[in-house]
Structure 1
Amino acid sequence: MSSNSQRYLVLISKIIFFYSIFYVIMKILAILQGAWMIPNLILSIPYLVFAIVGGIMVKRNSYHWAYVIAGAILISVVRYYEKEWMIQLHEYFL
């Protein structure tokens, strides 16, 4: 793998890792401020998994393109459908 490709892999992996941590923290803060607990916890589970996997990758300093691709897909899909899924989950667990 070329040097540039490896640098992009590391950079994008760390961005996804920090975004996942940020998302989980924001959901916890939203819950503490009175937002719906169960839907917020459910929607933060995939990000928690990505944060844990990303933390392991950063600690070992070994990165993989599958993490980047899966992370980009997860972030895109969840952000696009988040409002709709939040309402559906709230109505389901009501």
Structure 2
Amino acid sequence: MSSNSQRYLVLISKIIFFYSIFYVVMKIIAMFQGSWVIPNLILSLPYLVFAVVGGFMVKRNSYHWAYVIAGAILISIVRYYEREWMLQLHNYFQ
């Protein structure tokens, strides 16, 4: 793998890792401020998994393009449907 490609892989992996941590922390803060607990927990679970996997990748300094592709897809889909899913989950568990 070329040097530039490896640098982009590391950079994008770390961005996804830190974004996942940020998203989980923001959902926890929202729950403490009175937001719906169960929908926030459910929507933050995939990000929690990505944060844990990303943490292992950063610790071992071994990165993979599958993490980047899956992370980009997850972030895009969840952010696009987040409002709708949040309301549906709230109505389902209410």
TM-score by length of 1: 1.00
- 1:35 matched residue in structure 2: 35
Asked whether 1:4 is paired with 2:1, we answer no
Amino acid at match of 2:27: K
**How many residues are treated as equivalent by the alignment?**
94
| Runs of 4+ more than 2 Å apart | none
- In structure 2, stretches of 5+ residues that fail to align are none
Asked whether 1:92 is paired with 2:87, we answer no
Which residues of 2 match residues 47-86 of structure 1 at below 5 A?
47-86=47-86
CA RMSD of aligned residues (A): 0.1
- In structure 1, stretches of 5+ residues that fail to align are none
The CA distance in 2 between the partners of 1:32 and 1:48, in whole Å, is 18
Aligned residues with identical type, % of pairs: 85
Query: 1:18 Cα deviation (Å)?
Result: 0.1
The CA distance in 1 between the partners of 2:73 and 2:35, in whole Å, is 26
- 1:15 matched residue in structure 2: 15
